[in-house]
Amino acid sequence: MADFPTTARVVIIGGGAVGASSLYHLCKAGWTDCVLLEKNELTAGSTWHAAGNVPTFSTSWSVMNMQRYSTELYRGLGAAVDYPMNYHVTGSIRLAHSKERMQEFQRAKGMGKSQGMDLDILAVDEIKNRYPFIETHDLHGALYDPNDGDIDPAQLTQALAKGARDLGAKILRFTPATGVSRAGDDWIVQTEKGDIRCEFVVNAAGYYAQRVGEWFKPYGGRTVPMMVMSHQYMLTDEIPELEAWSAENGHKLPLLRDVDSSYYLRQEKHGLNLGPYERNCKAHWVNPSDPLPEDFSFQLYPDDLERLEWYVEDAMARVPLLGTAGVNKVINGPIPYAPDGMPLIGPMPGVPNAFEACVFTFGIAQGGGAGKVLAEWITEGQTEWDMWSCDPRRYTDYTNQAYCVAKAWRCTAMNTACIFRGMNGLLVEIKNCRLCMTSCLNWVGSWGPITAGNGPIGSPSPATIPRKKPPRHGTVPARGKHVSARNARRCAMPVVCWTCRGSRGFGCRERAQIIGCAGFVPVVSRKWVG
């Protein structure tokens, strides 16, 4: 093929929003000799079915920076690259059911202020002024973000791709990468159409990132710590009252986030979009009976409406207008998760001149900032913002599949939860012994109860896993056994012990191995529990 590039400075594997943003920002930095490879059409993975919410709110400094930058980029992107885009800046209202949630909002407001964001705390009587269809009788207040909104994910990706092409980059659609090899200090990226020699390679393969990551193992790589969860949202029929309100006021309703009930409610044209973060969430492609398909482009899972029943009822009680509309469509698609719910963006651990920009659970909101960060890593060797919370090197080889599934399942179930003392714990695995996930959850699920049938693989159904009392001080339970904490202190990972509440290092030299922790930084004090 005469137009097939055989050399490039950077090759990006994956054509979703994050891959396209990375390509665009590399070109903006002057690195135009770059190639993006996409196995199907652009957006064919998680991007095409994403809801497209673009919040700035986060309790993570790194993520708030990325999301803030995304909103600033998206506002002017269409004009900058001469591509039409539907980007609606509606603002958002995050509801608080408790004084503890209001403390979290106050902290987020302070973080936002230091980044130049105008977040505001709303009293209960102010909420209805901005969202007239809501019931507020049991609320303590809300957080208002004027920069929140939504964007069309496909248009966003195509706009970024056009901007990169205009600056000189190449995008090869329907050109799947098939492997990599080393030639001196360069990488050889293999495709079905030929090989491309490059200095740097980027894994931006979304929920296929783990499969792509396996290609780098002979060169010092590791299994990418991730798993895939299904996420559902539903679209209603048009609602005449909503259409009349929008016509009268000249804009859409602000996006409503009931974080204590764990869902968002967004105006979609003249209907509503309800998107829960389900506590009874479901993992996919985690065992041989449910393997990752070779190609899942533009595909969805079957609807699973029973999992949404509680959230639909709660949302209808909060916004009775929702109950007047029928369900028009249900979207149920794959979303990648790292064990802590944060993306992987930065140098690939142990591999020279290789980077990761993958496992984005909120890739549309973070995609703009992710492209900036990735381009800085490659072109400058450092980033403007502190990005350690998203750095792939934060994980080492303890992240086996059982750990990734259990932790990501917990992340999804507690996506919007306030974290309190006593909601942490450790995941324990016995070496040379098959540990069923139920044993892990029986102990880790202190914040339960958890519906076992909807938990990670290996959990029975339809039993309910009850709360468990904390173990004796100084001991770590593992499948009926106890390991002395005093004899196990060489773990490189600082964790919070739920027995003594102290920040300590745990690990074991003998039969049991602690493979992770559910320790946390509390949202109200910003200090380790202890």
> Where does a domain end: 297, 322, 337?
337
Token couple for 238: 């048009």
Query: For 84-225, where are the alpha helices, taking DSSP H only?
Result: 99-114, 124-130, 153-166, 209-213
Provide the CATH number for the domain around residue 176: 3.50.50.60
* Least confident range of 42-46, 148-152, 498-502: 498-502
The mean of the pLDDT values for the chain is 80
> Are 129 and 278 in a shared domain?
yes
Taking CA 100 as the corner, what is the angle to CA 425 and CA 422, rounded to the nearest 5 degrees? 15
Can you tell me the mean pLDDT for 149-161? 96
**Mean of pLDDT values over 169-178:** 97
Query: The tokens of 477 are what?
Result: 């339970």
CA dist., res. 375 & res. 21, Å (int) = 9
Output the CA–CA distances (angstroms, integers) from residue 385 to 236, 243, 376, in the order listed: 40, 42, 10
* Band of pLDDT at residue 477, cut at 50, 70 and 90: very low
Ramachandran assignment for 467, one of left (phi > 0), alpha (psi -120 to 50 degrees), beta (any other): beta
- Which of 303, 337, 371 delimits the end of a domain? 337
pLDDT per position as a tens digit, 264-297: 999 999 999 999 988 778 889 988 888 999 999 9
Question: Do 210 and 278 fall into the same domain?
Answer: no
User: Looking at the structure, do residues 364 and 487 belong to the same domain, yes or no?
Assistant: no
**Crossing angle for the helix pair 17-28 and 153-166, to the nearest 10 degrees:** 30
The answer on 275 and 261 residing in a single domain is yes
Residue 137 has pLDDT above 70, yes or no: yes
Residue that finishes a domain, picked among 280, 315, 337: 337
Which range has highest mean pLDDT (293-302, 408-417, 482-491)?
293-302
Asked whether the whole model's pTM tops 0.75, one would answer yes
d(CA 213, CA 209): 6
Residue 296 and residue 256 share a domain: yes
pLDDT greater than 90 at residue 258? yes
Q: Is 274 helix (H, G, I), strand (E, B) or coil?
A: strand
What pLDDT, on a 0 to 100 scale, did the predictor assign at position 1? 54
Over residues 53-79, the mean pLDDT reads: 93
pLDDT, position 287: 83
Q: 160 and 220 share a domain?
A: yes
Helix (H, G, I), strand (E, B) or coil at 501: coil
CA atoms within 13 A on the CB side of 110: 10
Residues 143 and 269 in one domain: yes
Residue of 407 and 212 predicted with greater confidence = 212
Residue that wins the pLDDT comparison between 388 and 410: 388
CATH number of the domain within which 302 lies = 3.30.9.10
Asked if 160 and 306 sit in the same domain, the reply is: no
C-beta separation of 19 from 68 below 8 A: no
Show the domain range for 428.
416-517
Domain count, the chain: 3
Per-residue pLDDT of 390-404, as tens digits, reads: 999 999 878 888 888
In a domain, 362, yes or no: yes
